[in-house]
């Protein structure tokens, strides 16, 4: 009876997945993962390189120089910028994608991201300048802290700007609108940011 019950059990479904009308078994999956890159992965990498190549057409000159790209690729990019014919441009971009395949994509991605979003260092500097501006307006103690760190600051000018920014913020606000920020508020930010930049270069 036990044997009969065991024989009547529903067989377990085989592990794997269907791809292009063919069932791919686990051992084939493992071989693909540990072996050479699959055609799908290679195609995805080639597509990314071509997309990065298109982005290089609009990259700033200073960022382009930093990448130290091969001369042949730079020439191809320069030619692509001059081509106006759709089909000619498409073929040129394919050629650029081909030239980019052996290159490391990471620094190219980083340069494109820096152009789009600014460098991490610049973003941090802007945040620090914003924090100092808000501290200076909120507290008298912050002025002493700032002058201790940046003794070359024109203290009288900064005090005047802080007083004006506080007056602007104290003015009656229109219901539903953001707090009022006048010219002094922006000038404090510029003063702090410039002082921080000069200190970093010193």
At 25, is the pLDDT very low, low, confident or very high (cuts 50, 70, 90)? low
pLDDT in the model for residue 50:
78
Residue that wins the pLDDT comparison between 122 and 65: 65
* Domain covering 120-201 assigned CATH 1.10.10.10 in the classification: no
What value, to the nearest 5°, has the Cα angle with vertex 140 and ends 168 and 153? 90
**Predicted TM-score of the model (pTM):** 0.44
At 3, is the pLDDT very low, low, confident or very high (cuts 50, 70, 90)? very low
pLDDT in the model for residue 164:
92
pLDDT in the model for residue 170:
79
134 has pLDDT over 70: yes
The architecture (CATH level 2) of 39-117 comes to Orthogonal Bundle (1.10)
Rounded mean pLDDT of 31-42?
60
Question: Which pairs with CB-CB distance under 8 Å and at least 24 residues apart come from 51-59?
Answer: 52/100, 52/105, 52/108, 52/109, 52/112, 53/77, 53/93, 53/96, 53/97, 53/99, 53/100, 54/93, 54/96, 55/112, 56/96, 56/108, 56/112, 57/81, 58/115, 59/111, 59/112, 59/115
Distance (Å, rounded) from C-alpha 91 to C-alpha 55?
Answer: 16
Q: What does the domain layout of the chain look like in residue ranges?
A: 39-117, 120-201
Same fold, 39-117 and 120-201: yes
| Highest-pLDDT range among 39-53, 73-87, 121-135, 170-184 | 73-87
């Amino acid at each position: 009876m036990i044997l009969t019950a065991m024989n009547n059990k529903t067989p377990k479904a085989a592990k794997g997945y269907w791809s292009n009308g063919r069932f791919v078994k686990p051992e084939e999956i493992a071989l693909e993962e540990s072996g050479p890159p699959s055609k799908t992965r290679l195609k995805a990498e080639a597509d990314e390189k071509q997309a990065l190549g298109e982005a290089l057409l609009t990259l700033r000159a200073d960022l382009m120089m930093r990448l130290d790209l091969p001369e042949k690729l730079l020439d191809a990019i320069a030619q692509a910028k001059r081509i106006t014919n759709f089909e000619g441009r498409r073929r040129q971009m394919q050629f650029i994608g081909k030239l980019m395949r052996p290159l490391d994509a990471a620094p190219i991605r980083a340069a494109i991201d820096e152009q789009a979003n600014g460098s991490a260092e610049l973003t941090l500097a802007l945040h620090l300048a914003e924090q100092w501006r808000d501290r200076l307006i909120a507290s008298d103690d912050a002025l002493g802290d700032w002058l201790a760190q940046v003794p070359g600051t024109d203290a009288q000018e900064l005090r005047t700007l802080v007083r004006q920014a506080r007056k602007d913020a104290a003015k009656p606000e229109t219901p539903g609108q953001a707090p009022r920020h006048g010219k002094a508020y922006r000038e404090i930010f510029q003063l702090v940011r410039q002082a921080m930049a000069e200190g970093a270069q010193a």
